[in-house]
Structures are given as structure tokens and as C-alpha cells.
Amino acid sequence: MTFPESNDRRKKIGQAVMFGLSKGISYGIVALLFLILFFIIKQGIGVISWEFLTAMPTDGMTKGGIFPAIIGTLYLVGGSMLFAFPVGVMAGIYVHEYAVSGPMKRFVNMMTNNLAGVPSIIFGLFGMALFVNQMGFGASILAGSLTLGLLALPIVIRTTEESLKSVDDTFRQASYALGGSKLYTIRKVVLPIALPNILTGLILAVGRVSGETAPILFTVAAYFLPRLPNSIMDQCMALPYHLYVISTSGTQIEASRPIAYGTAFVLVAIVLIVNILAALLRNYFGKKVKMN
Amino acid sequence: MSNKIETIDVNLHYGDFHALKDISLGIPENSVTALIGPSGCGKSTYLRLFNRMNDLIPETRITGKVLLDGENIYKIKANKIDALRRNVGMVFQKPNPFPKSIFENVAYGLRVNGITDKSFIEGQVEKTLHQAALWDEVKDKLKKSAFELSGGQQQRLCIARALAIEPSIILMDEPASALDPISTGKIEDLIFELKAQYTIVIVTHNMQQAGRVSDYTGFFYLGSLIEFGKTRKIFTNPSKQETENYISGRFG
């Protein structure tokens, strides 16, 4: 049998075009990321100094530093994770390991997805209604952390579930076959294997939470509070909100422009550092799982 | 020889699928019984009756009797299932050591069942690794990850893990199908050694392996037990045409 040579040529060209296209797009995305980073670094690096990182804002937020905003963001990220991580991991374990498949499980899954799709300003409003007013926390780090935690919850649940799904079922069976209970099996076999991937979910959640403005708008963020918070019932400043304030509603927007870029720079740097730390942690646990 | 395991008219359904049909069979004590048959014939499902592994699959229905030392293991209380599983060890198709050290893999079954005496655990781990013919290869690296072992060593480790809690029955679900011929040979030697103390039931796709290691053979086809008997008889003079066709390689 003879096959038309033109067909082989056509296949080859089609392949080259598709491959080139997808390669170009992925490089383009990386380039875009670097462009954003470059822009922020270029604009922001000028104002970065030890003083900028450690001093209080002064002169109507056109001078001085952003120390309270940095500390506030760290508190909020930490607080939200303290809430979202254990709750999300437990929910993920329930959904994947315990819930019997059927309408109820599908419903829970669907609702988790819906929760992930809720606009963040809605979380802000909800947080204000529930934590600030109903539960009487007032605008406070506690209320803000809980609100941000709610936002992070579906991410943590989803990745926990996916991580558990990727644990080969024969590990569970081997443990049951030795007389292991479900709980023991999850604690000693399944979770250690899944942990590195669950930590990836934590990284994603931290990235998401640290940059959110809307959920903290009504629940914790202070427009201007040139001191550190005294307790978790205190308000605090936060980087994304600070950036928003000095770029839109300050009295001297032009004068505070450099500080705005500096703030953006610090925010991006914090997210980057947290991501790197979490990635190191994840690698460490990944190795430990193999070595232990 | 008395029967260690006996099934009487066992039927198993997964949802609408009738996976085991009226299986009645006695498995003699301290012997090796091979279950053979084409993929999907029910042999693995049958094997998993004995430690109630099928319970984990939703919508499974089982009727008939599965007697182990004369007791129907599907009539025992739910809190006796762990005890049943301690008595019935299992080795899986793919070596699946836990992501722990070699030592902790063997000790797992002891720890999970509440044994904390350190020196007892150490003694048991060493004894069991000897039994699984693995001690000499791993004695200097007990703290190392089990994943550093070769596939064949991992599978012997999994056998040691099963032996550590002193079961009386060992189920093996194609234990050598993922291994090279030399590792397979070691596993087979091991099976031969172990049958003095244990009742072994092995599922295999490998006819020669069934012929080499087993005393009894059961041939499954489409969920039914076609024939059961001494391995020598099944392989040289089967009474059913289907058995002969399968063994001589005409199908399956």
C-alpha cells in the first residue's frame, strides 16, 4: 500500500504549529509575570529602606514607613491559616475518607466549589454581619482572620481532598489488612503521604489571603493606625488595604505614589517569601515521608 | 488434613454484577492453594472474602457461608473484624511498603494493634525479617526508608509486615506479577518455606508458578469455580474441558 506523502507533511506542520503555539503561550505567561515583577520592583525599590520597613507612616501617609501594615498583614495571614488549615484539612478528610458517595457527598462538593466562587466582597459583608456585629467581635484581627479564613477554606478543602485522592488505595488496604482502624490508617499512613500536597494547598491559600482587600475592608482594616495592635480584638492596618487607601482616597495621592509602589513591592515580596518557605517545608516533609 | 477455610454456596454481587456464583470449596490447612483463571473471573474477589476486604467496596452483597476454623466470618460482630484481619495476612500485587523505615514497616502491625513493648517489637521485627529471608540484606539499614529497597525486596518486606503479627493464613494476590524472574524465584522459595506454618492462598496469572508452588489449585471462570483439586491432577489430568483449555493456553 502507498500512503500519500503529503499527509505526513501535513501532520508534521500541524504538530509544529500547535507545539509552537502552546510553547509561545506558556513562555508568554512567564514573561508577563516577570513584567509585573519588574514593574513593581523598578517603581518600588527606590523607597525601600530599613526605615520604610520599620517606621510608622507619617505626614498623612506620604512619608515614613509601613511597619504597622506589614505586621497587620502577617497577623491576618497567620490568623486566617490558624483557622482555615485545621478546619479545611478535617473537612477534606471527612469528604474523601468518610463520606459515603451519594447525593449528600455530591452536594457537599458542589457547595465547596460554590464557596470558592463567591466574590470576596461578599465574604467581607458576611464577616461583618456575623463576626463583627452578630458575635460582637467588632472590627478586629479576630473578625478579619476568621473572614479571610472562610475565604481560604475551599482552597484548603479542595487540595486536601485531591491530595488524599492521589494516595494509592493499596496503602489503606494494607493497613486495614493488618487490623488497622480507619483513623489509625489515616493518621499514620494516608496523611503522611498526602502532607506535601496538602501543604501546597496551604501555599495557595496564603497567596490568596495575603493579597485580599475586600474581606478585611469592614472587618478589621484600619485606615490609619500608626501603632501596633494590642490584642486580637484590636484593629490593624494591612498592606493591600493600605495600598488601596493611599492610591485612591488619601489626601495627597500623588505625594504618596512612591510609598504605594513600595507597599506593593513589600506585599509581593512577602507572598514570594511565604511561597518559598512553604515550598521548602513541603520538600522537607516530602523527604521525611520517604526517609522516616 | 482438615480444612482451614471453607466456603459454602457463596454468592457475591457488586451492585448488579454477579461476581461469585455458588462457590463451595474447602482449603486445607498448612498448604498452598493457587487460584487461577482469566482476568475478571472472580479469583481475587474470592481471595478477599477471607479477610473481608470486599467490605470496603460499596454495594457489595454476600450470601452463603465463609467458615474460618469453623466460624462464619460474616456473622461475627463488627468489633471482631480487626481480630479476623490480624489472623489473615495479606500481600498485594504491587509491593506497597508504607512510607516509613524498613523497621517501622514490619513493626506497623504490632503498633497498630496496641503493642508498645520495645524489646518485644525489636525481637519480632528481626524474627520476621529472618522468616521473610530479608534480614541479611537489610540488617544494617533498618532505619532507612523502605523505598530504597528493590521491588523484590519490597515485596519480601511486605510479606514480613504481614507475618509480624503472626497470622495463621496468608493471602497473596499475584504477589510476583510486578517482579523480575529472580525476585519471583525468591518469593516462590519463601512461599514453600512458609507453608509449614501457614495456610497460604495465592492468586496468580502465571500457570508455571501455580504448578511450582501450590499443592491445590482452583480454576475460576466467569465467577464460577470450575474445578478444584490437587495441583498435579489439575495440571496433568483435569476433569473439565474448560480447565484443560485454559491450562494448555487455548484461551485466557
A289 interfaces chain B, CB cutoff of 8 Å: yes
Query: Does the pLDDT at position B3 exceed 50?
Result: yes
Please name each of the domains of chain B with its CATH number.
3-247 (3.40.50.300)
Q: Report CA-CA distances (Å) from B119 to A15, B125, B185.
A: 64, 10, 33
Rounded to the nearest angstrom, the minimum Cα separation between A177 and chain B is: 5
* Residue showing cell 534480614: B135
Size of interface A-B (CB pairs under 8 A): 76
* pLDDT score for A90: 94
* pLDDT score for A100: 80
Residues of A in contact with B109 (CB under 8 A): 178-180
CB-nearest to A177 from B53, B93, B94 is B53
A22 interfaces chain B, CB cutoff of 8 Å: no
Measure the CA–CA gap between B111 and A121, rounded to whole angstroms: 49
User: The C-alpha cell of B38 is what?
Assistant: 482469566
* pLDDT score for A148: 95
Rounded to the nearest angstrom, the minimum Cα separation between A92 and chain B is: 19
CB-nearest to B147 from A178, A180, A290 is A290
Query: Does the pLDDT at position B58 exceed 90?
Result: no
Residues of A in contact with B83 (CB under 8 A): 179
A175 interfaces chain B, CB cutoff of 8 Å: yes
pLDDT in tens, B125-184: 999 999 998 999 999 999 999 999 999 999 999 999 999 999 999 999 999 888 888 889
Ordered by start, the domain boundaries in chain A are: 5-46, 50-291
Q: What is the pTM of this model?
A: 0.82
Least confident of A3-7, B23-27, B31-35, B45-49: A3-7
DSSP-derived pairing of the beta strands B88-91 and B71-72: unpaired
HSE-up (13 A, CA, CB side) for residue A74: 13
* pLDDT score for A291: 47
Contacts with B161 (C-beta within 8 Å, 6 or more apart), sequence order: A174, A178, B97, B105, B106, B108, B109, B128
Residue A285 burial by Cβ neighbours in a 10 Å radius (0-12, 13-18, 19+): middle
Mean pLDDT computed over every residue of chain B: 92
* pLDDT score for A250: 62
Measure the CA–CA gap between A201 and B183, rounded to whole angstroms: 40
Residues of A in contact with B50 (CB under 8 A): none
How many other CB atoms are found less than 10 A from the CB of residue B136? 9
Rounded to the nearest angstrom, the minimum Cα separation between A175 and chain B is: 8
Helix (H, G, I), strand (E, B) or coil at A28: helix
Q: Could A100 and B58 be called an inter-chain contact, meaning their C-beta atoms sit closer than 8 Å? A: yes
User: What is the mean pLDDT, run by run of 10 residues, along chain A of 292 residues?
Assistant: 87 93 96 93 88 81 82 93 95 90 85 90 94 91 95 93 92 94 93 88 86 90 80 88 83 79 91 82 70 44
Q: What confidence tier does B44 reach under pLDDT thresholds 50, 70, 90? A: very high
Q: What mean pLDDT is predicted for residues B53-74?
A: 90
* pLDDT score for B178: 84
Residues of A in contact with B108 (CB under 8 A): 175, 178, 180, 188
* pLDDT score for B40: 86
* pLDDT score for B50: 94
Q: Which CATH number fits domain A50-291: 1.10.260.40, 1.10.579.10, 1.10.3720.10, 3.30.70.60?
A: 1.10.3720.10
Which residue in chain A has the smallest CA separation from B114? A180
Q: What mean pLDDT is predicted for residues B35-61?
A: 90
Rounded to the nearest angstrom, the minimum Cα separation between B234 and chain A is: 31
* pLDDT score for A63: 74
CB of A210 within 8 A of CB of A267? yes
Q: Report CA-CA distances (Å) from B99 to A54, A62, A66.
A: 45, 55, 46
CB-nearest to B51 from A177, A180, A291 is A177
Rounded to the nearest angstrom, the minimum Cα separation between A200 and chain B is: 19
Q: What DSSP character marks residue A212?
A: -
Q: What confidence tier does B18 reach under pLDDT thresholds 50, 70, 90? A: very high
A residues 75-104 closer than 8 Å to B (CB): 100-101
